[in-house]
Structures are given as structure tokens and as C-alpha cells.
Amino acid sequence: SRALFCRGSAGSRCSHRRLQLTNCVVQYQANILTIHQAIPVNAVASVTLSIEILNTTGDVSELIDALEKTQGVHYLKILSRE
């Protein structure tokens, strides 16, 4: 397996956005290792996901695109890939 670490920011209703991001990762059959959310400022919070990429995981580029297109996500940055 491989790991993908990404950071981004999510808009208001952060807990709802985390659920949407989690569902997106599950759809691509990857595992979430960690979720870290900073304290929201002006209804925007920084969120870091550590994702385990498995042999059964779908196309990683499509997963990244889907995460970026999730409603409320302001930006997504890949911190590292292993």
C-alpha cells in the first residue's frame, strides 16, 4: 500500500464537509489513516487527511479531482506521496 497526504481548507459546516470528504475517499476504496482539523476561523478550517492507497483503490488522480470538487473545499494540496 501507499500513502497520500493532503491538506486543504473547508468552508462553513466543517463537520459536514469532513463527512463528505470521508465518503469520497471510501468511494475510491482507500483508507483514511488520520484526519486533523484546525480551529475554524471565519467559518473556514484547515483539514489534513492521511490516506492509505490500496491495490483495490481506484484511480488516485480521479480521487484527488473528486476531493477538490467537493462542495465547500477551497483548495487542496498534496503534501507527499509514498
Taking the complete model, does pTM exceed 0.85, yes or no?
no
* pLDDT score at 57: 93
- Alpha carbon 9 to its chain centroid, in Å, reads 10
Amino acid at residue number 55: N
Q: How many CB atoms lie within 10 A of CB 25?
A: 20
* pLDDT score at 12: 56
Could you list the pLDDT tens digit for every one of the 82 residues in the chain?
A: 677 676 777 665 666 777 888 899 999 999 999 988 888 888 788 888 899 999 999 999 999 999 989 888 888 888 888 7
* pLDDT score at 14: 61
